[in-house]
Structure 1
Amino acid sequence: MASRSCTFLEILFAIILPPLGVFLRFGCCSMEFCICLLLTILGYIPGIIYAVYVLVALGSEDRDRDYDTLA
């Protein structure tokens, strides 16, 4: 339940300020953050689209890998 609410908050932050949502998931010096920051500077809508895509598509893959490495 906590992961769903965290994902909801990250997506909400990504709509308000796209790099913030990506920063919360991947950190400051990640490639996803840099791409999102660049897209947000070039245009707000592309930044939102990329941030939501990264949080939904790539975020679920990272969580699956974390659980596999723990098992």
Structure 2
Amino acid sequence: MNKVLLVILAILLPPVAVFLQDGVGKHLIINIVLCILGFIPGVIHALWLILK
């Protein structure tokens, strides 16, 4: 159930989902930069991180 909520959150707010999954670290910074450059790469990165 928790993973389902993280996937939904990754689609809507990718940095928040990455923060809840890994906390503050390199993946959060990468995801924020990807979201600034384009929303879709941020979503893909968040989904990859949650589903791996």
Normalising by structure 2, we get a TM-score of: 0.93
Gaps in structure 1 of 5+ consecutive residues: 58-71
Distance 2:41 2:18 in 1: 14
Aligned to 1:43: 38
- 1:18-60 CA deviation, whole Å, 9 max, x = no partner? 10110111112x1111101110011000000010001111xxx
Over the matched positions of the two proteins, sequence identity in percent amounts to 38
Larger Rg: 1
Cα RMSD of the aligned pairs, angstroms, is 0.7
Number of aligned pairs? 52
Kindly report which structure 2 residues correspond to 1:4-43, keeping only aligned pairs within 5 A, or say none: 5-28=1-24, 30-43=25-38
Gaps of 5+ in 2: none
Q: 2 CA distance for matches of 1:8 and 1:31?
A: 23
